[in-house]
Amino acid sequence: MTRRSVSTHGDKVVANGQKLSQNGTQLEPNGKHDGDGPKGKVELRKKVTLLRGISIIIGTIIGAGIFISPKGILKHTGSVGMSLVVWIACGVLSLFGALSYAELGTCIKKSGGHYTYILEAFGPQMAFIRLWVDVIAIRPAGMAVIALAFGHYILEPLFMPCGIPVMAVKLATAVGITSVMVLNSLSVTWTARIQIVLTFCKLLAIAIIIVPGMLELFKGETRNFDNAFDLGSIKLSGLPLAFYSGMYAYAGWFYLNFVTEEVDNPERTVPLAICISMVIVTSCYVLSNVAYYAVMSPEELLASEAVAVTFAEKLMGKFSTVVPVFVAMSCYGSMNGCLFAISRMFFVASREGHLPEVLSMIHIRRHTPLPAVLALYPMTMLQLFVADIYSLLNFMSFLRWLFIGVAVLGLIYLRYTQPDLPRPFKVPLIIPAVFCLTCFLMVFMSLYSDPVNTGIGFAISLTGIPAYYIFIVFDRRPKWIQKAIDSCNKFLQILLEVIPAE
């Protein structure tokens, strides 16, 4: 993290032997432009259409969870009927949050998601603390966990019925992470296209579960729904934990807001993509669970390590070996969507002076935020092979809902402090109020149910306060340190062939 400095390029810049025109676009020997996109400024293009926006949201929400372990909600509710109610309720609450973000995304037309909205509403210190927690823990750990699931399930068909060596999983995981980084570095267009393909694949996988399950239901296999709301089995004390699990399963509806500046016609695309995506995801989650209950008893579902595999074994025989491949593809889509979105948050934070300047630069030919994409790579690989990732996520999970709640609270705050701010899409205040209350209740529940891990996570987040003053506020650095920082920025700029966005 460094002071903002302006790189002086003069009329021409030489990067790896390539000449750049004064506006920053690369010139070939014949003087023509080369790049991913039309000629002109070096900037992030508006390439996220409605279909691509939908694929980003659905592709990041639906990971491995619905295929592997949808049993958390059943465990905490104790009832088939109540578990389905919780799935629906969490979908509606998530829609409330998504609609609130739709308003934020159309009145604050900047990328960056939570970080940007907290910055606009509550200032740089609060936004920096959110960014600090993301950089040092949440994002690398979250990416590593998704990648580990990918590594495990992509190898499972090769090792069945034996166990998979841990190092083999980590190596496959490293290959998966590397390929996603390369893809996001090379082309925004191809990243979006592959995300669309992967989203259709995971929806196809869910359809393979839903259709046979519905057929079984229509044949009269309804015994698992008898006494679905038996009061004797419902666990009211477990409902808060059930809602926590459900809201976690729907998390990801906010990722389109991380790339708002690249969305074509954001006033229309952002709200429409969010609404369509949430309807599709909620329908898939509820119908998948109905299909599971049509084939498996609650006891079988709770005992299964991978619900979709058990489901497929009961109905499809050998075809069940295909399920791990679908799960791996689903995880890969989540990795791709997450990296695409998170890199934009780093890009915006750098532009605001909260991260090193080089992270706000763009590749001269490919028009991708190459340094911001690569920034997550070493941290993720380090956590993959060194850190206890799952413990780190336990420390930090409550902070996600705390800061999302703060961001939505910012919507309410801006309604009163900036009433004249243009709002092409506006929601009734009851929607952000209910969602805000839900987020803060989940945070309180974390403090009550797991005070040790929550306390550790909270303490780690508080380290962002001294970090803010050390790296951002305090700017009287010795000249030799500032010179070293500037030299490092220039070296990376030449090495990566990047320049500041225009």
Structural domain includes residue 425: yes
Give the CATH number of the domain where residue 479 resides.
1.20.1740.10
pLDDT, residue 65, reads 75
pLDDT, residue 393, reads 67
CA end-to-end span of the chain:
21
pLDDT, residue 120, reads 94
User: Distance between CA atoms of 242 and 237, rounded to whole angstroms?
Assistant: 10
Number of domains in the chain: 1
pLDDT, residue 483, reads 84
Q: What is the dihedral of CA 14, 19, 23, 25, to 10 degrees?
A: -120
- C-beta atoms surrounding 479 within 10 Å: 7
Q: Which of 271, 366, 311, 333 is CA-nearest to residue 61? A: 333
Which residue range is the domain that position 197 belongs to? 13-500
Structural domain includes residue 341: yes
Q: Give the mean pLDDT per block of 10 residues along the chain (502 residues).
A: 41 40 40 47 82 93 79 83 91 94 92 93 93 86 86 84 84 93 92 92 90 89 80 71 84 91 91 94 93 89 82 77 85 92 93 90 89 90 76 72 92 92 92 93 80 82 90 79 84 86 72
CB-based contact 176:154 (threshold 8 Å): yes
pLDDT, residue 390, reads 66
Structural domain includes residue 314: yes
User: Distance between CA atoms of 279 and 277, rounded to whole angstroms?
Assistant: 6
Lookup: tokens for 291: 């299909």
CB-based contact 13:20 (threshold 8 Å): yes
Structural domain includes residue 2: no
pLDDT, residue 278, reads 94
DSSP secondary structure letter of residue 13: E
Query: Among all chains, which residue has been given the structure tokens 């709200």?
Result: 271
pLDDT, residue 24, reads 40
CB-based contact 255:60 (threshold 8 Å): yes
Structural domain includes residue 199: yes
DSSP secondary structure letter of residue 165: P
DSSP secondary structure letter of residue 160: T
DSSP secondary structure letter of residue 30: T
- The angle subtended at Cα 204 by Cα 202 and Cα 209, nearest 5°, is 100
pLDDT, residue 73, reads 86
Structural domain includes residue 7: no
pLDDT, residue 29, reads 38
pLDDT, residue 137, reads 78
Structural domain includes residue 5: no
pLDDT, residue 38, reads 47
Q: Rounded to the nearest 5°, which phi and psi values hold at 54? A: -60, -40
Structural domain includes residue 217: yes
- The angle subtended at Cα 291 by Cα 286 and Cα 295, nearest 5°, is 150
pLDDT, residue 496, reads 84
